[in-house]
Chains A and B, each alone.
Chain A
Amino acid sequence: QQQVKQSPQSLIVQKGGISIINCAYENTAFDYFPWYQQFPGKGPALLIAIRPDVSEKKEGRFTISFNKSAKQFSLHIMDSQPGDSATYFCAASPAGGGNKLTFGTGTQLKVEL
Chain B
Amino acid sequence: DTGVSQDPRHKITKRGQNVTFRCDPISEHNRLYWYRQTLGQGPEFLTYFQNEAQLEKSRLLSDRFSAERPKGSFSTLEIQRTEQGDSAMYLCASSLVVSNTIYFGEGSWLTVV
Contacts and interface: CB of A to CB of B under 8 A. Distances in A.
Given A103-B43, A105-B42, A43 B50 contact: no
A46 B101 contact: yes
Chain A contact-residue range equals: 20 to 34
Nearest to B99: A99
Contacts of A42: 106-107
B42 A89 contact: yes
Interface string A24-51: 0000000010101000011111100100
Most buried by A among B33, B102, B107: B102
Contact of A43 (B44, B55, B100, B104): B104
Contact of B50 (A32, A41, A89, A98): A98
A37 to B, nearest CB: 11
Range class of the B interface residue count:
20 to 34
Given A44-B91, A106-B41, A101 B102 contact: yes
A103 B36 CA distance: 11
A93 B35 CA distance: 14
A77 B89 CA distance: 27
Contact of A49 (B42, B50, B55, B101): B101
B56 A44 contact: no
Contacts of B104: 36, 43-45
Given A42-B107, A43-B105, A46-B102, A100 B56 contact: yes
Nearest to A6: B42
Interface in A89-113: 89, 91, 93, 97-106
Interface of A: 6, 32, 34, 36, 41-46, 49, 89, 91, 93, 97-106
Which 6 pairs across A and B sit closest by C-beta, in order of nearness? A103-B42, A43-B104, A32-B100, A43-B106, A43-B107, A44-B104
